[in-house]
Amino acid sequence: QVQLQESGGGSVQTGGSLRISCTASSYTDRGNCMAWFRQAPGKEREGVAAVYSGGQSRYYTDSVKDRFTVSLDSTKNTMYLQMNNLKPEDAAMYYCAAAGWIGPVQCMRFDPDAMAWWGEGTLVTISS
């Protein structure tokens, strides 16, 4: 069992930056894929960014490329999402997820069914 704890959410103005974090309770059990998902009110959950195999590969959904950076600090067992140039459409509840040992394609595709553990989420709001 892996527990995931997100932190760092808050309110930021359009064009601003925010960094959110996700700390896993176990290193060996968190698997080889950790990902960020988000869900806005009335919208489906979508995968945003993921790190695979200890950070050797990073994946992003098209809408956040060149604005968001996902990283993994294995020494702290923490994944980060640096979000720059935030837009109103980025407002959502952001969830951290971790899979067991899955292949890169499932991680890259942000397959929610492949994620074994989920955090409770951290809220990001964007003001104009």
Higher pLDDT, 26 or 93: 93
User: For residue range 47-105, what is the model confidence (pLDDT) as tens digits?
Assistant: 999 999 888 899 999 999 999 999 999 889 899 999 999 999 999 999 999 997 898 99
Query: What is the per-residue pLDDT for 28?
Result: 57
pLDDT at 29 over 80: no
Q: Which residues on neighbouring strands pair with residue 46, listed in sequence order?
A: 38
Query: What is the per-residue pLDDT for 101?
Result: 86
Query: What is the per-residue pLDDT for 65?
Result: 96
Report how far apart the first and last C-alpha atoms of the chain are (Å, whole number): 40
